[in-house]
Structure 1
Amino acid sequence: MLAKLSGATRLHVIIGDPIAQVQSPGGISREFAARGRDAVLVPMQVAPAHVDALMEGLRHAGNLDGIVVTVPHKFAAFPHCASTTDRAGFLNSVNILRRRADGGWHGDMTDGAAFVGGLAAAGYDPRGRRALMAGAGGAGTAIALALVEAGVAELAIHDADVARRDRLLARLAGLGPAVLRAGSDDPAGHELIVNATPAGMAPGDPLPFRADRLAPGMFVGEVITSPEVTPLLHAARAMGCGTQTGIGMFAAGRAMMVDFLLGQ
């Protein structure tokens, strides 16, 4: 049951563009209530050109305790942090910020830990696997780091922005024994397939990977929460692949996000 709103309710916002697809407001607000906190998370639509102005304005909202950041603002929000966790500092991106005692923001990037946690909840261990990921944006950078730390044997990264892909590969070099290389939209030869792009949110989006090259035994994971079963996951399930939805990723990360927002 959600908290009864009043002037004493502590406010948290989630910013993104688009924002209608996010599942976080209800889930995190219910988690606040379950922990006995008079707090809510509400969605805010903000275009990339207005992120800096919004972040400056939010700094002055005295009853605002936290900000959740979704696509495409995770890099843009990073400079507004007075401090960050080590992983967010390494990635230069954040997906969650909480108010510091001095009024500034402390940021973290939980997407990678949430994705790997979702794999574990689905019974899939990425250790020793050959992984292919599409997307080197905010979520993709975090997931790539988490997969390397989780012990994948190989990580291939595919992104239409070749320079962004190569920057991520260079950043990850030397962090673990995983073989790092540029990938493509062909999933053949890989065991773990990850879509960390928005492709699949809108009707008519092209698939991030060639569906005809999927094979039984592959495991396919998504970051998209709406639709819950994307066209990629439909194709993967038709091929007999194991899958993780973006909802599964969010469920795995919800507790850690609330822990962070509450300073626990």
Structure 2
Amino acid sequence: MANTLLGERGILGVFVMLPMQVSAEDFPTFITGLRALKNFGGAVVSMPHKIATANLIDELTPEARLVGAVNVIRRNGDGCLIGTMLDGEGFVSGLVAAGHCVKGARILLVGAGGAASAIAFALAKHGCASLCIQNRTLDRASALSERVRHAYPHLEVSTAIQATSHYDIAVNGTSLGMKADDDLPISKSFIGCCDLIADCVIAPEMTKLLQEAANQGKAIQTGVPMLAAQMALMLAFMGAE
């Protein structure tokens, strides 16, 4: 997607995006190496490195500082690495472009990692009526809820699902769905309590969660619009204009 945009702008070759697979164990060393790579302009950071990146680079934008995670970095000429977070705005932009409304919506968010955190703050910023955050580790869900509540004190934020709960939008902000044998992040029975099921997983585009939701006649949103909405912003941040 990035290289297609660079080609359309006539600057593919001046800039090119390459995939780099790095283990969590080697990630700090990898970041150190990027400082020394003089023809490195920037990088898009994916799971599971978004939170770690925020603690390894030199400077964070206000958005990244609020979320505590980074999904794109750039290298200045002096080797300084600066990071921002665009997952949240990208997710909301993708929803709006598809004709869905965040303002006034009751939303369930599954996950409390870097992407989920960014989405939580963006949903609050864009005026959702309530936000329920679920995570396999309750402490992380509670911590994210407190941070969102502190930034948006008038928003109804919780970590508890009631028996009568109904949500306009349910969001998978976890990596569940990337592997064929992953559990569903939202149970089959609870999908029926949600009008729209949105996933942040990009590959496969049609996850088991979305397929199940479609089978139940629910509206769905894949993870691709979130990335597409961000890509031009990411390239601009990295200096590829």
Partners of 1:86 and 1:184 lie apart in 2 by: 31
Q: 2:179 aligns with which of 176, 196, 202?
A: 202
Match of 1:79 in 2: 55
C-alpha deviations, 1:61-108, integer Å up to 9, x for none?
111110111000001111232222111011221000011232211110
Partners of 1:97 and 1:111 lie apart in 2 by: 13
Match of 1:102 in 2: 78
- CA RMSD after TM alignment: 1.9
CA distance change for structure 1 residues 76 and 145 in 2, over 3 Å: closer, same or farther?
same
Match of 1:180 in 2: 157
Q: What's the CA shift for 1:212?
A: 2.1
Partners of 1:79 and 1:175 lie apart in 2 by: 21
Match of 2:125 in 1: 149
The answer on whether the counterparts of 1:136 and 1:165 sit within 8 Å (CA) in structure 2 is yes
Equivalent position SS for 1:118: helix
C-alpha deviations, 1:185-207, integer Å up to 9, x for none?
98951111000111111112110
Range that drifts further, 63-72 or 183-192: 183-192
The answer on whether the counterparts of 1:201 and 1:230 sit within 8 Å (CA) in structure 2 is yes
Q: 2:44 aligns with which of 61, 68, 77?
A: 68
Match of 1:34 in 2: 8
Q: What's the CA shift for 1:184?
A: 5.2
Partners of 2:61 and 2:117 lie apart in 1 by: 15
- For these two proteins, the number of residue pairs brought into alignment is 238
Match of 1:219 in 2: 196
Q: What's the CA shift for 1:152?
A: 0.6
What 5-or-longer segments of structure 2 have no aligned partner? none
Partners of 1:77 and 1:106 lie apart in 2 by: 10
Partners of 1:185 and 1:228 lie apart in 2 by: 30
1:117 aligns with 2:93: yes
Q: What's the CA shift for 1:40?
A: 0.9
Q: What's the CA shift for 1:33?
A: 2.1
The answer on whether the counterparts of 1:134 and 1:197 sit within 8 Å (CA) in structure 2 is yes
Match of 1:91 in 2: 67
State the one-letter code of the partner of 2:5.
E
State the one-letter code of the partner of 1:223.
C
- Structure-1-length-normalised TM-score: 0.85
Match of 2:23 in 1: 47
Partners of 1:141 and 1:185 lie apart in 2 by: 22
Percent of paired sites with the same residue: 34
- Structure-2-length-normalised TM-score: 0.93
Range that drifts further, 170-179 or 145-154: 170-179
State the one-letter code of the partner of 1:130.
R
Q: What's the CA shift for 1:175?
A: 2.6
1:130 aligns with 2:106: yes
The answer on whether the counterparts of 2:70 and 2:84 sit within 8 Å (CA) in structure 1 is yes
CA distance change for structure 1 residues 183 and 231 in 2, over 3 Å: closer, same or farther?
farther
1:235 aligns with 2:212: yes
